[in-house]
Amino acid sequence: MSSRPGRLGLPAVLAASVSVAALAACPSPRAPAVSVPEPVAAQKPHEVPSPHGARIDPYYWLRDDTRKDPEVLAYLEAENAYTHAALAPVASLERTLRAEMTARVAQEDASAPVFENGWWYIRRWKPERQYPILVRKRGTLDAPDEVILDANERAKDHAFFNFYGTTVSPDGRYLAWTEDTVGRSQLDLRVKDLVTGELLPDTVSNITPSLAWANDSRTLFYVGKDETTLRSRYVKRHLLRTPVSADVLVHDEADGAYYTSVGETKSRRYVQIAMRSTTSNEVRLVDADDPAAPPRVFLPREPRHEYALDHDGTRFVVRTNSEAQNFRLIEVADGADPADKRTWRDVVPHDPDALVGGFDVHEAFLAWNERRGGLQRVRVLPRGAALAESFTPEANDPTFVMSLHDTPDLGARTVRWSYASLTTPSTVFELDIASRRRVVVDETPVPGYDATRYTSEYVHATAPDGAKIPVSLVRAKGTKVDGTAPVLVYGYGSYGYSQDAAFSQHVVSLLDRGWVYAIAHVRGGSEMGRAWYEQGRQQHKLNSFTDFIAASEHLVATRYAARDKVFAWGGSAGGLLMGAVLNMRPDLYRGVIATVPFVDVVTTMLDASIPLTTNEYDEWGNPADKAAYEYMLSYSPYDNVGAKPYPSLLVITGLWDSQVQYFEPAKWVARLRALRTDENLLLLETDMRAGHGGKAGRFDKVDQWARRYAFFLHVLERPDWRAARGQWP
């Protein structure tokens, strides 16, 4: 029996006096002793109030909104040192994995060229460079490159760097983008004059990546964040080369349930101001030729009504769930009143078996993503044709994903989409609407990869309530289905986001070592339609967790995996999934990675000052309601840690994360250390210079994946504490 429950109340960074080797009481050989001691967080009881009674949180002190508290930082650094030392035995393996993964990254590459307003735009990657170089060519692809932004130059003086939202003014003169040099997604506006090369002093801080130009090419709309909650709250209008202090407030969204964004319609007729909550939307339009005109509401917000629109020059096309759970596409002619639903005309009627996703309007065609049977395809409808004449490209794999590419040229006569599968790297196709001739415009190069060596499958597990849970899986053809292989199961299951079977070059390192990789398409996503999402949110959230468990058990029962070699990972809301299934079935998994995990559900949802909270009541529930409070409390990973054995666990977070604050995983690990009764690895790694997405550079990301897979391989080779005591069923 572990002595951890008896260590309560020790000083914050007081270390246990035992090494990693001494922690293992089982008789099997262990890794060499690690000199860095295991951190133990102090317990400092703190009362967390709620309308339904207070809870005592002994690790609340780990929350430091300033990120400057010496005691908190010392604890996080001690955890980092412990993790580094505990994984030192696999440092060589990590280097090997890094070399393998780096070898599969093309040193030199380019994106598919995109045509807009007389220019072709391309992103290029150069050898050993972390970030792309943005170039353009005037008129023809044979024209010389003009470098408009070298992100590597922008990044060179920063420990963390990422950039987003690059957009060129309609006249082609100005490039606007946003930068993050901290990792907290509080971005800074940058504008460059592409004629003179001048970087304008027009800089605004604490904004989102959402930018939109008016047609005068001098007026730029941007979205600012709330100073406390970081919610994308207000829209301002900026005139280039004028003081930002003179920027005009266009919209201030007072309702904390809504996030705000801006964009341009395909016709360039309007600037859109979009407000979106979890279950409802509202769009306001500004005349792009008269940017000072007040915005007008297209359709006022209604409970449970979600919609998105675009304009193709003569009509609005709207994706709406009005009288359509799986959404439909309707059109509203210019001049008609969209609030009068008698003016709506179905273009793509509701289909209970097919979820209508994102769409793209053009003069010659309409295209949209369609999800049927759990798999996403692209469907194309030529302008003026009947729906029966629409078509979808063929797929060559049992599980795959097609994704429509939204191209900016309204007059385009070709449609673009990408195709990928668990065995097929992403390929971008372009199809001529008239001739139906299809060409490849871009293939993601993966040096050294041979797709013929791998096979993918699409199977179904049965949930406790009888629901059929799709599972996509891939393995090397030489890996036998005989119940001996290790399996890594990934899941997410929130916000209606579907986890498609896309290619990952990093997973190949596991497949080549005899692993199976699986994606459990659990409820809470939209893989099987909108009802799939509804069955995995709020008072039905437990379905996400039991679905994942059922998928894991199915892979063992059907002999894709060995009973004692089941591994799992998930991030953010998928980290919540990991925490919940660990409390429910810790015996099922050998090792787990939870990245930036949302694990302190109740405390976070009670605090409206924390980013994302008020926007997410429709996803998790409002804890002011007693039933919602008690339901969240029943599965919140942090609140349900128990005195029992847990599998080996690596928890990864970022100090500057604005989506899931670092203190959630830090508190979770602290409570696990205090209560667990096992001797398995329990590691917390905090990136002190990054946020929710970790490092942004392409080779830095390779480092992150090499560390994660080294952990899994290390745990596979370590004698499992429970197995040594005969505790596997």
pLDDT at 184: 86
pLDDT at 728: 52
Give the tokens for residue 413: 């006569």
Catalytic-role residue among 657, 678, 687, 720: 657
State the Cα–Cα distance between residues 570 and 598, nearest whole angstrom: 10
pLDDT at 722: 62
State the Cα–Cα distance between residues 66 and 69, nearest whole angstrom: 7
Alpha carbon separation from 58 to 10, 39, 74, 334, 681 (Å, rounded):
12, 16, 18, 60, 23
pLDDT at 690: 86
- Position 14 confidence tier, pLDDT thresholds 50, 70, 90: very low
Task: Return the CATH fold of 306-445.
Answer: Methylamine Dehydrogenase; Chain H (2.130.10)
Give the HSE-up count for residue 632: Cα atoms under 13 Å, Cβ half-sphere.
Answer: 25
| Residue scoring higher pLDDT (199 or 608) | 199
Cα angle 481, 487, 493; round to 5: 120
Read off the DSSP letter of residue 187.
B
Among the ranges given (132-141, 215-224, 603-612), the one the predictor scored with the smallest mean pLDDT = 603-612
| Packed helices 70-86 and 663-675: angle between N→C axes, nearest 10 degrees | 60
State the Cα–Cα distance between residues 180 and 56, nearest whole angstrom: 36
Alpha carbon 392 to chain centroid, angstroms:
27
pLDDT at 648: 97
pLDDT at 36: 84
Query: Average model confidence (pLDDT) for the chain?
Result: 92
Alpha carbon separation from 137 to 4, 131, 278, 549, 561 (Å, rounded):
63, 20, 40, 51, 51
Look at residue 258 and tell me whether its pLDDT is greater than 80. yes
The string of pLDDT tens digits covering residues 532-567 is 999 999 999 999 999 999 999 999 999 999 999 999
521 a catalytic residue: no
Helix (H, G, I), strand (E, B) or coil at 55: strand
Report residue 147: phi and psi, to 5°: -75, 120
Return the number of other C-beta atoms located less than 10 Å from residue 477's C-beta: 10
* Contact by Cβ (8 Å): 713, 80: no
Alpha carbon separation from 76 to 17, 46, 645 (Å, rounded):
18, 20, 24
- Position 17 confidence tier, pLDDT thresholds 50, 70, 90: very low
Question: How many DSSP H helices and E strands does the chain contain?
Answer: 14, 37
State the Cα–Cα distance between residues 309 and 322, nearest whole angstrom: 14
Task: Return the CATH fold of 4-102+449-720.
Answer: Rossmann fold (3.40.50)
| Packed helices 573-584 and 542-557: angle between N→C axes, nearest 10 degrees | 70
The string of pLDDT tens digits covering residues 396-434 is 999 999 999 989 999 999 999 999 999 999 999 999 999
Read off the DSSP letter of residue 410.
T
- Position 138 confidence tier, pLDDT thresholds 50, 70, 90: very high
509 a catalytic residue: no
The string of pLDDT tens digits covering residues 482-492 is 999 999 999 99
State the Cα–Cα distance between residues 610 and 607, nearest whole angstrom: 6
State the Cα–Cα distance between residues 499 and 166, nearest whole angstrom: 26
Residue pointed to by tokens 């794999």? 397
Topology agreement, domain 159-305 and domain 306-445: yes
The string of pLDDT tens digits covering residues 150-172 is 999 999 999 999 999 999 999 99
* Contact by Cβ (8 Å): 587, 726: no
Can you give the pTM of this predicted structure? 0.92
pLDDT at 7: 23
pLDDT at 719: 80
State the Cα–Cα distance between residues 78 and 101, nearest whole angstrom: 29
Give the HSE-up count for residue 167: Cα atoms under 13 Å, Cβ half-sphere.
Answer: 21
552 a catalytic residue: no
For the chain, the straight-line distance linking the first and the last C-alpha, in angstroms and rounded, comes to 19
| Mean pLDDT, rounded, for 22-39 | 48
Domain boundaries, the chain: 4-102+449-720, 109-157, 159-305, 306-445
pLDDT at 129: 93
Catalytic-role residue among 572, 636, 648, 658: 572
* Contact by Cβ (8 Å): 459, 435: no
Residue pointed to by tokens 């994308």? 232
The string of pLDDT tens digits covering residues 80-105 is 999 999 999 999 999 999 999 999 99
Q: Residue 569's beta-bridge partner residues?
A: 490, 593
pLDDT at 18: 27
E-assigned strand segments in 265-374: 270-276, 281-287, 296-299, 307-311, 315-320, 328-333, 345-348, 354-361, 365-372
Read off the DSSP letter of residue 231.
-
pLDDT at 329: 98
List the one residue out of 387, 508, 393, 504 whose CA is nearest residue 439: 393
Q: Which of these CATH numbers, 3.90.280.10, 3.30.1130.10, 2.130.10.120, 1.10.287.130, describes 159-305?
A: 2.130.10.120
Catalytic-role residue among 405, 506, 521, 692: 692
Query: For the chain, percent helix, then strand, then coil, each to nearest 5?
Result: 25, 30, 45
List the one residue out of 722, 718, 721 whose CA is nearest residue 86: 718
The string of pLDDT tens digits covering residues 625-649 is 999 999 999 999 999 999 999 999 9
H or E stretch covering 709: helix 698-717
State the Cα–Cα distance between residues 40 and 633, nearest whole angstrom: 25
* Contact by Cβ (8 Å): 110, 131: no
List the one residue out of 530, 555, 529, 525 whose CA is nearest residue 543: 525
Q: If you write DSSP's letter for every residue of 532-584 in order, what string do you get?
A: HHHTTSGGGTHHHHHHHHHHHHHHHHTTSS-TT-EEEEEETHHHHHHHHHHHH
State the Cα–Cα distance between residues 640 and 623, nearest whole angstrom: 17
Helix (H, G, I), strand (E, B) or coil at 151: helix
Residue pointed to by tokens 């970790």? 694
The string of pLDDT tens digits covering residues 325-349 is 999 999 999 999 999 999 999 999 9
Give the HSE-up count for residue 176: Cα atoms under 13 Å, Cβ half-sphere.
Answer: 31
Q: Residue 454's beta-bridge partner residues?
A: 476
pLDDT at 726: 57
User: Which distant-in-sequence residues (6+ apart) come within 8 Å of 452 by Cβ?
Assistant: none
